[in-house]
Amino acid sequence: MWRWSFQQGQATGMHTHEYDYIAIPITGGDFTATFESDDVMPVTQIAGTPYQREAGVRHNVRFVGEGAATFVEIEFLS
């Protein structure tokens, strides 16, 4: 489990998720996800609305909203 906190323009860096995971936005906010292919996907997180992704996702997530944003990410290890 990780808690991610971002200021405008901050990013995770390119990384690969080795397990399925769920993200739970605390504040909500606007992000972009950039994949290895250089495709960019806009992501709008809504506070309190979780979403799930599968293992194998490789991306860089950048906060493009204003102010600050926080979310919790939980990987399913089994």
* Domain boundaries along the sequence of the chain: 2-75
Model pTM score = 0.89
Mean pLDDT calculated for residue range 35-58: 96
Q: Span 5-19, mean pLDDT?
A: 97
Provide the pLDDT for residue 78.
75
At residue 24, does pLDDT exceed 80? yes
Name which of 56, 77, 63, 46 is nearest 8 in CA terms: 63
Look at domain 2-75 and name its CATH class: mainly beta
- The owner of tokens 């909203």 is 65
- Beta pairing class for 51-53 and 15-16: unpaired
**Predicted confidence band of residue 34 (pLDDT cuts 50, 70, 90):** very high
Q: Would you call 26 helix, strand, or coil by DSSP?
A: coil
DSSP character at residue 27:
S
